[in-house]
């Protein structure tokens, strides 16, 4: 069956910047970056734009603004206190518009990233400042980061989507493929990202991206990214859409060489799967908050690794069954209710969706995952989810030391690789 042609993005928009790179056969690379001081934020955006890569910029929002404590954000600005991000509401639209005005265009755009279960104030602020892209979702920015009831988050995100959709050319990325960052088997990550994409579509969005966070096994990740694109083609065929990969979000290697090789590995993964955009991590992740220079270095390393990896490879044969599991989960949720918001609420209430190791009150907490002998991430127990578990042999119950071993699996693997090259100093090789 042929897939309908997607809508072209509005010229000059965030989505158009991604399309420009896609036509040129280049991966878009993007940092996580947010500073309260506008001079520092401006310098960061300028450096990202000037990097030897096809980049887009980021305004990562501070914690006060994320939770709606706008009075504290304003007070921090007035007192000159440091914040862990850009207070977009407290700064006001004129300040933000001036911050980005002459940076946008020629293939460069800026996305607002936050972490809020109710982002209506953030959405209003970014639209008032002339920006057009943000990210999150009713599940992915509720369960991991808040105590907000899922029902309230679903309602707030429905209103937020409608606010965004009222402005032509806006773009919304699902964070569903990044739940908890690690130890969530790929099939659930794929399913959540697709389901949030369906939610966005239901509430008016015409340009979306679906996310996936690199996990523990390259072959399984390749399969997951192909599964994500397949299900996006099936459920979101009439939308402008692309895929975004996150460099591994768990415990990062402690050696610079190990961290850089993990970054390059994620860039190669993006290249061979045809992924259009990638969110990078830096070689400083295990030791300190990354600087602007750290971020630019990571962007350039990722772009070079992706370019050297060559073109897209053929889809895998399905050794890990990611597509079948993800499709089962998506279909099971959609069968619960004609309204996707109510379906998501019912799915978590019934345990049809259940995120391992997630302590939110609306999550059933009956699932667990483990890393098998191949290094792939598998279901140890699936609770009431309509898929089958494959418990680790001899481990009917996962112990605390099993969990600690899984959390450090990727770090130890890439640090061991670094030690074989003799590059083990934590800050070796960082740019001046």
Backbone angles phi, psi at 142, to 5 degrees: -115, -60
pLDDT value for 427 = 36
pLDDT for position 395? 64
Between 187-191, 255-259, 282-286, the lowest mean confidence (pLDDT) is in 282-286
User: And the tokens for 192?
Assistant: 């959540």
Percent of the chain residues topping a pLDDT of 70: 95
Q: What's residue 419's pLDDT? A: 81
Indicate if the pLDDT at residue 91 is higher than 80.
Answer: yes
Question: Using 50, 70 and 90 to split pLDDT, how confident is the model at 2?
Answer: very low
Contact (CB, 8 A) for 33 and 299: no
pLDDT attached to residue 313:
84
3-17, 128-142, 158-172, 392-406: which range is least confident on average? 3-17
Indicate the pLDDT class of residue 295, thresholds 50, 70 and 90.
very high
Categorize the per-residue pLDDT at 1 as very low, low, confident or very high, splitting at 50, 70 and 90. Answer: very low
pLDDT score for 3: 34
- Residue bearing the bigger pLDDT, 423 or 92: 92
Quote the pTM value: 0.94
pLDDT for the residue numbered 328? 98
Q: Please state the three-class secondary structure of the chain as a single string.
A: CCCCCCCCCCCCCHHHHHHHHHHCCCCEEECCCCCCCHHHHHHHHHHHHHCCCEECEEEEECHHHHCCCHHHHHHHHHHCCCCCCECHHHHCHHHHHHHHCCCCECCECEEEECCCCCCHHHHHHHHHCCCCEEEECCCCCCCCCCCCCHHHHHHHHHHHHHHHHCCCCCEEEECHHHCCCCCCCHHHHHHHHHHHHHHHHHCCCCEEEEEEECCCCHHHHHHHHHHHHHHHHHHCCCCEEEEEEECCCCCCCCCHHHHHHHHHHHHHHHHHHCCCEEECCCCCCCCCCCCHHHHHHHHHHHHHHHHHHCCCCCCCCCCCCHHHHHHHHHHHHHCCCCCHHHHHHHHHHHCCCCCCCCCCCCCCCCEEEEECCCCCEEEEEECCCCCCCCCCCCCCCCCHHHHHHHHCHHHHHHHHHHHHHCCCCCCCCCCC
For tokens 């190669």, name the residue. 268
Q: Quick check: 294 pLDDT over 50?
A: yes
pLDDT at residue 100 is higher than 90: yes
pLDDT in the model for residue 393:
74
pLDDT over 80 at 6, yes or no: no
Span 302-320, average pLDDT: 90
Q: What is the per-residue pLDDT for 7?
A: 63
Q: Is the predicted pLDDT of residue 284 greater than 60, yes or no? A: yes
Residue carrying structure tokens 């418990």: 391
Token pair 């772009």: residue = 303
Asked if the model's pLDDT at residue 366 lies above 80, the reply is yes
Give the CA distances from residue 263 to residues 24, 64, 116, 279, 282, in Å, rounded to whole numbers and listed in that order: 22, 30, 27, 10, 7
Neighbours of 240 (CB within 10 A): 22
Res. 314 pLDDT band, cuts 50 70 90: confident
pLDDT tens-digit readout, 8-47: 787 789 999 999 999 999 999 999 999 999 999 999 999 9
Q: What is the pLDDT of residue 208?
A: 98
Q: What is the pLDDT of residues 109-150, one digit of tens each?
A: 999 999 999 999 999 999 999 999 999 999 999 999 899 999
Confidence check: pLDDT of 432 > 50: no
For residues 228 and 243, the answer to whether their CB atoms sit within 8 Å is yes
Residue 58: pLDDT band (50, 70, 90) is very high
**111, 56 in Cβ contact below 8 A?**
yes
pLDDT > 90: percent of the chain: 84
* Distance in angstroms (rounded) separating the CA atoms of residues 24 and 83: 38
Domains recognised in the chain with CATH numbers:
17-432 (3.20.20.240)
Alpha-carbon span 58 to 30, nearest angstrom = 7
- Residue 339, burial from CB neighbour count under 10 angstroms (0-12, 13-18, 19+): middle
pLDDT tens string 211-255: 999 999 999 999 999 999 999 999 999 999 999 999 999 999 999
> pLDDT tens digits, residue range 340-356?
999 999 999 999 999 99
């Amino acid at each position: 069956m042929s897939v309908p042609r997607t809508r072209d993005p509005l010229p000059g928009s965030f989505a158009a910047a991604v399309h420009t790179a896609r036509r040129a056969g280049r991966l878009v690379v993007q940092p996580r970056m947010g500073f309260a001081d506008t001079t520092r934020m401006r310098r960061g955006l300028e450096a990202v734009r000037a990097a030897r890569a096809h980049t887009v910029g980021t305004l990562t929002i501070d914690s006060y603004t994320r939770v709606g404590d706008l009075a504290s954000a304003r007070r921090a600005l007035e007192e000159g206190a440091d914040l862990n991000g850009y207070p977009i509401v407290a700064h006001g639209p004129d300040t933000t518009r001036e911050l980005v005005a002459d940076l946008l265009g020629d293939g460069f755009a800026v996305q607002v990233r936050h972490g809020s279960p109710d982002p209506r104030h953030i959405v209003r602020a970014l639209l008032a400042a002339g920006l057009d892209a943000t990210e999150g979702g009713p599940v992915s920015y509720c369960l991991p980061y808040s105590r907000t009831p899922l029902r309230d988050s679903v309602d707030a995100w429905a209103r937020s989507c409608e606010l965004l959709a009222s402005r032509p050319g806006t773009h919304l990325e699902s964070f569903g493929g990044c739940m908890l960052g690690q130890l969530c088997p790929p099939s659930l990550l794929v399913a959540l990202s697709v389901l949030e994409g369906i939610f966005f579509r239901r509430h008016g969005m015409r340009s979306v991206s679906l996310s996936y966070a690199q996990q523990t096994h390259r072959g399984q990740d390749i399969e997951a990214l192909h599964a994500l694109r397949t299900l996006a083609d099936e459920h979101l065929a009439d939308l402008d859409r692309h895929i975004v990969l996150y460099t591994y979000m768990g415990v990062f290697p402690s050696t610079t060489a190990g961290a850089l090789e993990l970054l390059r590995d994620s860039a190669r993964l993006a290249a061979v799967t045809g992924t259009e955009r990638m969110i990078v991590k830096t070689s400083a992740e295990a030791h300190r908050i990354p600087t602007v220079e750290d971020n630019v270095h990571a962007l350039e390393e990722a772009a070079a690794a992706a370019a050297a990896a060559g073109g897209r490879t053929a889809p895998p044969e399905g050794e890990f069954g990611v597509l079948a599991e993800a499709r089962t989960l998506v279909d099971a949720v959609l069968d619960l209710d004609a309204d996707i918001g109510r379906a998501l609420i019912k799915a978590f209430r019934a345990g049809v969706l259940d995120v391992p190791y997630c302590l939110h009150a609306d999550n059933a907490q009956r699932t667990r995952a483990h890393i098998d002998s191949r290094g792939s991430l598998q279901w140890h127990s699936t609770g009431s989810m309509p898929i089958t578990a494959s418990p680790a042999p001899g481990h009917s119950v996962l112990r605390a030391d099993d969990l600690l071993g899984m959390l450090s699996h990727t770090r130890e693997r890439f640090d061991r690789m670094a030690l074989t090259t003799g590059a083990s100093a934590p800050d070796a090789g960082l740019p001046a």
